[in-house]
Structure 1
Amino acid sequence: MSYTWTHIYKITLLCGMIFIATSISVAQIVFEKDTLTIFSATGKAHKFNVEIASTNEERSQGLMYRKNMAKNAGMLFVYNKPNNVTMWMKNTYIPLDMLFFNSEGKVVYIKENTTPHSTKTIASDQDVIGVLELNAGTTFQLGIKVGDIAQHRLLQR
């Protein structure tokens, strides 16, 4: 099969457009950073450095495309009002623990060790104001349970 310069130009142009589209779609958002503390029933305080996802764009991207996360880090998804929130792991490489919070900052549901890249939805089955994603195994290691309280300015309303 022989190609003319026109064919080669069109193929090169198409490859360039695909590269640009792919680069744009995985561009990382710069998230606001803060700290969040979870107080367990035993009185122990667990402090995390979190990135805040509070807009639709930020929540849509979340931790997608990241290959790792620091041990004491996480991402806090916050919503303007309590609602039934569903999460998934599409394009997420890191297995996670997800903690769902009511408007008092109380942990009402925990989904441990989520499956990377899964499109299966994860929901608390009740209205929540926020979701904290941590590295998988963190809640078990630290003994964080349903009923524990998170302290963060965006969770107490």
Structure 2
Amino acid sequence: MRVLAVLCALLWAGQVLANCASDRVSMRGEWGEARFQVELADTPQERSRGLMFREDLPTMSGMLFVYEYPQTVSFWMKNTLIPLDMIFVDRTGLVRGVHHEAIPGDLTPIPGGRDIFAVLEINGGLSRRMGISTGTQMRHPVFEGGPAIWPC
């Protein structure tokens, strides 16, 4: 019986760890739950390049921009060839805002707001179709250093 309990605990721990990996973002809200494969952009050079020059982005994929500390952020679509949704997230993993369907090549600044720690870019229109909005929760290992609302 004790062996069974240990096996169950190990399986549960493995499942929790499988849900949190640097190349995956989980999101949940009243609409349900979803998981995205992501590339991490956590250096100034990676954040500067972002998804520029990409001709496509697979469905349920994206790029997660992570900052050293929460700050005021703004994005633009210079050299970006595909429409994107930008999901602005605070240090706890709470979505603070969504910019829907940013226009490819547009140089107009897209403000994300204050105290933003991470930004997830996904295919344009996907946030609206899924129901991702302010109040949605995000889970990823980058939120573990603070008061994560949905810990790994």
Mark yes or no: TM-score above 0.5. Answer: yes
> Which 4+ residue blocks in structure 1 deviate beyond 6 angstroms?
none
SS in 1 for 2:128: helix
The 8 Å contact of residues 75 and 112 in structure 2, kept in 1 or not, is answered as no
The unaligned stretches of length 5 or more in structure 1 are: 1-32
RMSD: 1.4
> 1:108-119 counterparts in 2 under 5 A?
108-119=96-107
Percentage of pairs with the same residue: 37
Which residue in the other structure is 1:38 paired with? 27
In structure 2, C-alpha distance between the alignment counterparts of 1:145 and 1:115, rounded to whole Å: 19
Task: Name the SS for the 2:118 alignment partner.
Answer: strand
Show CA shifts across 1:98-133 (max 9, x none).
000000000001000001011111112221000000
Q: Which runs of 5+ in 2 are unaligned?
A: 1-21, 147-152
Q: Which residue of 2 aligns with 1:102?
A: 90
Which has the higher mean CA deviation after the structures are superposed, 130-139 or 117-126?
Answer: 117-126
- Residue of structure 1 equivalent to 2:40: 52
Instruction: Measure the CA separation in 2 of the matches of 1:88 and 1:138.
Output: 19
TM-score, structure 1 as length reference: 0.76
Q: Which deviations, in whole Å up to 9, do the C-alpha atoms of 1:60-113 show, x marking residues without a partner?
A: 100000000000100000001000011110000010000000000000010000
Please state whether the residue corresponding to 1:116 is helix, strand or coil: coil
Larger proportion of strand = 2
1:41 and 1:147 in contact (8 A); partners too? no
Instruction: Give the secondary-structure state (helix, strand or coil) at the position aligned to 1:132.
Output: strand
Distance, in Å, in 1 between the alignment partners of 2:29 and 2:23 is: 20
CA distance in 2, matches of 1:54, 1:102: 15
